[in-house]
Amino acid sequence: MRRPFFAAFACFAAALAVPAVFAQDVPVSDSRYYLLPRTVYVGDPGRLVLPLDAAFSGAGGVVLDRPEQLPPDGDLVISRAEIENRGGQARLLVDFAAYVPGAVEFPVIKIGSFVFSGLRADIASILDAGPPENSRVLSPYAPPVPAPGTMEIIYAFALGIAALILGGAALGIWGLPWLSRYRQLRKRRQMVHGLLRELKQLRALLAGDAPAESLVLDRLNGELRRFLEFFIRCPCASMVPGEFLSLCGPGGEYGPFLGGLFGRCDRLRFGGIRAGRGEVLAILDEVQGFAETCENEEDTKVSGGRPLMGEAG
């Protein structure tokens, strides 16, 4: 019973010893192999190329690319190993990536019946100090990339600020005087239209059946004096007809007209005679013509060089 057991054990041990007996250890010299690229940096993929002699001419086509076929991972990770036979020339190709700088030794690589040991690679690092011509430094942090259209927005904002400043300056130089004159002209038109509306009401009052000549003259006198106060720098409510003549001076355009108009109104109001409707209508027509003239003339002035109240600064 013991002999069959020992015979089976001997056969099993012999089977295990066969690969070791036929495994061929390949000596490696540093001058025989090279790296692609010539300088491999930490973390970068590289390839070790080892030319083989004529004894390996029939060993091509053996590839190790599965994790269980490759040596265990460490500071150097092998991703592929192959014996390539091209044009009658065999060579060992080992794809790898190293994660430590300096001289890194490859683990033992077994392909078929061949065992490769003693392989080494010099791994460079960009952080290593060296001569200035060979030294490499990390590039500085890149500035943040602006969003598309950022510079256009900045330029548009700057142009908008400049336009606001120039617009404010132009408004102060030309705009404010123009606005002031526009308000004055608008006020004068409002006064003229108010006087014309009052004249229209006085005509309707005069066209009634009841005598209203004295009432019409009283209202016309007060309304016309208030209208003139807008153009003349003195209170017209207390002025007599002669003062209008002296205020306007000789050669004034409206001085004689205003003096004569108020003189006629006073004679009809205080002369002791009843004013006729035709005379009152003639006075209303003259006042209406004067109001329309004041509306149409933009640079109306009172005699003596004094500016109108509506145009005074």
| Sign of torsion over alpha carbons 275, 280, 286, 292 | positive
Q: Which amino acid is at 52?
A: L
pLDDT single digits (tens) 212-231? 788 888 888 888 888 888 77
- pLDDT value of residue 264: 87
pLDDT single digits (tens) 264-283? 888 888 877 777 888 888 88
**Considering the entire predicted model, what is its pTM?**
0.41
Q: Are strands 89-98 and 76-86 parallel, antiparallel or unpaired?
A: antiparallel
Residue 238, φ and ψ in degrees, nearest 5: -105, 10
pLDDT single digits (tens) 92-138? 899 999 988 888 889 888 887 888 888 888 898 887 655 545 555 55
Domain spans, the chain? 23-124, 185-311
List b or e across 186-221, with b for residues whose CB sees 16 or more CB atoms inside 10 angstroms. Answer: eebeebbeebeebbeebeeebeeeeebbeebbebbb
Instruction: Examine the pLDDT at 312 and tell me if it is beyond 80.
Output: no
Report residue 114 as tokens: 């061949």
Asked if 79 contacts 65 with a C-beta cutoff of 8 angstroms, the reply is yes
Q: CA 78 to CA 105: how far, in whole Å? A: 12
3-state secondary structure of 246: helix
